[in-house]
């Protein structure tokens, strides 16, 4: 696990992602990004792989209030953008900064004038058709983004958000790297139990395995 190093940034970086290729490949992508990030940052952790990682991370008490959350997606989802801009999501996000990474989606977000509602969006109202100027929409709502498959560019964007000088020759490796095999049972954040407000429940796209009158839900990858 991470070891504190002199001269490194102390802001926790937490990485999570959607199901893009398969769990093994998607986890390894995050581990490889952590290898680069940990050359300049003390704490970089793998959180989970889940289609609801945007909610899983912000509702978790295990993600520090000052963390930078990095969410990796394989496509653009207008409904998800709308959901993340809601007051409920912002409430749980708190002071945490969020970076969205779009990994080889079909649509390029820069210069996109309109992002249509996804064909599999079965959670938004019938009146929702999409979002105009999605890049501006994200920035206006306080979310940074990058669209690239290059892990070094992703790491440099993280460094930029942390106020760290980025370099083009960032090393791919560190002695204090978190790997999937290093994860302990208590590090499997995705199976923790969290208290949520009942009014927010329908807004959350997490996989719910249990819900009762106490407004308690179990979220899993």
CATH value at residue 153: 3.40.50
User: What pLDDT sits at residue 5?
Assistant: 52
| The pLDDT of residue 78 is above 80 | yes
208 has pLDDT over 60: no
Judge whether 101 lies within some domain.
yes
Q: Model pTM?
A: 0.75
Is residue 216 pLDDT above 60, yes or no? no
Expressed as residue numbers, the domain containing 35 is 13-182
Number of domains in the chain: 1
Measured at the CA of 163, the angle between CA 26 and CA 101, to 5 degrees, comes to 25
Give the tokens for residue 195.
């208290």
Judge whether 100 lies within some domain.
yes
Is 3 inside a domain boundary? no
Cα separation, 27 vs 15, whole angstroms: 10
Is residue 139 included in any domain, yes or no? yes
């Amino acid at each position: 696990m991470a070891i504190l190093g002199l001269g490194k940034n102390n802001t926790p970086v937490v990485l999570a992602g959607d199901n893009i290729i398969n769990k093994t490949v998607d986890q390894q992508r995050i581990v490889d990004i952590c290898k680069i990030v940990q050359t300049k940052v003390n704490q970089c952790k793998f959180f989970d792989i889940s289609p609801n990682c945007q909610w899983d991370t912000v509702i978790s008490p295990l993600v520090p209030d000052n963390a930078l959350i990095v969410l990796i997606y394989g496509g653009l989802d207008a409904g998800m953008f709308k959901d993340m801009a809601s007051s409920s999501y912002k409430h749980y996000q708190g002071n945490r900064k969020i970076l969205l990474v779009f990994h080889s989606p079909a649509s390029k977000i820069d210069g996109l004038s309109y992002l249509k509602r996804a064909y599999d969006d079965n959670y938004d109202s019938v009146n929702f058709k999409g979002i105009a100027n999605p890049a501006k929409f994200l920035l206006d709502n306080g979310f940074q983004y990058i669209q690239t498959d290059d892990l070094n560019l992703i790491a440099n964007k993280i460094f930029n958000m942390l106020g760290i000088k980025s370099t083009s020759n960032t090393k791919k490796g560190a002695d204090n790297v978190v790997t999937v095999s290093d994860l302990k049972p208590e590090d499997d954040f995705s199976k923790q139990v969290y208290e949520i407000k009942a009014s927010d429940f329908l807004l959350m796209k997490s996989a719910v395995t249990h819900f009762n009158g106490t407004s308690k839900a179990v979220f899993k990858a």
